[in-house]
Amino acid sequence: MSENTHPPAPNLAATPWQSPQQRRRFAAPWRTLLSALLFATNAAGTDDMDYNRARTRMVAEQLSASTRGISNPAVLQAMATVPRHEFVPANLRHYAYDDRPLPIGYAQTISQPYVVAFMTEKLEPQANDRVLEIGTGSGYQAAILAGLVRAVYSIEIVEPLAVRAQADLARLGYGNVSVRHGDGYLGWPEAAPFDAIIVTCAPDHVPKPLIDQLREGGRMVIPVGELDDQNLYLLRKRGKTLQREAILPVRFVPMTGTASRR
């Protein structure tokens, strides 16, 4: 599950670029990655070449620090290599790398690329992390995380979407992602604790089961609020305190199941 409208463009004056030195620091890894992508594109077949070009353009024009401030080289690399077109319906693949969400059926969407990159970067994924995702949707966010962390556990409440995402992730070789059909509000207690939790549907409060399943010092990125008044929050668990920072106004589909009955 994911957002169904564009979030406001970020204030570029408030991005991490505070000095020319910082710009140079992150420009070099991106130039290296861009060169590698162009080499791969030239070696690919026609269809793959078109998708590779579109994906490279997506990262350069929609995500990178000179445009919207995504600066983590590992996140940029993941966004530049995961085939987003494989996670959208076949009749929409020519829109796969556009700057917008797309419908995937069952009143759900695949998130706008910028939102995926932004949430991933704010989650601060580490190589040894075990991450819980609430709202598998198409499986695209899980695929992005799969190359950045040790294991991803993803829950989807719409069973046909869970089945399809699991099949697509397996077909594409993302072997460190586990998908289950279930109520995301309740989390995945038998696999807890998690180093990080990412939520791609909006409850009106932070579910306590998810707080309980987050390890000490862990991070959670979650949209919270009613449909027309949501903010994306970065939470950090510090003992009995949950540090909370609002990081972006958004509009996500509501969390259903237990969340809608409370």
Tell me: the pLDDT tens digits for 156-196? 999 999 999 999 999 999 999 999 999 999 999 999 999 99
Count Cβ atoms below 10 Å from residue 44 Cβ, excluding itself: 14
The pLDDT tens digits of the residues spanning 191-215 come to 999 999 999 999 999 999 999 999 9
Beta bridge partners of 202: 254
∠ CA 184-188-192, rounded to 5°: 140
Q: How far apart are CA 157 and CA 246, in angstroms?
A: 26
Task: Kindly list the catalytic residues.
Answer: 111
pLDDT of the residue at 255: 95
18 CB burial (10 A radius; 0-12, 13-18, 19+): exposed
Mean pLDDT by 10 residues, the chain (262 residues): 45 35 47 54 59 95 91 97 97 96 95 97 98 98 98 98 98 98 97 98 95 97 91 94 93 91 74
Determine which helix (DSSP H) or strand (DSSP E) holds 145, and give its type and residue range. helix 140-146
What is d(CA 175, CA 104) in angstroms, rounded to the nearest whole number?
A: 22
Question: Domains (ranges, CATH) in the chain?
Answer: 98-250 (3.40.50.150)
| pLDDT value of residue 196 | 98
* Structure confidence at residue 1 (pLDDT): 52
Residue 247, amino acid: I
User: Phi/psi zone of residue 55: left (φ > 0), alpha (ψ -120 to 50 degrees), beta?
Assistant: alpha
User: What percent of the chain is modeled with pLDDT above 70?
Assistant: 81
CA distance 159 to 207: 21
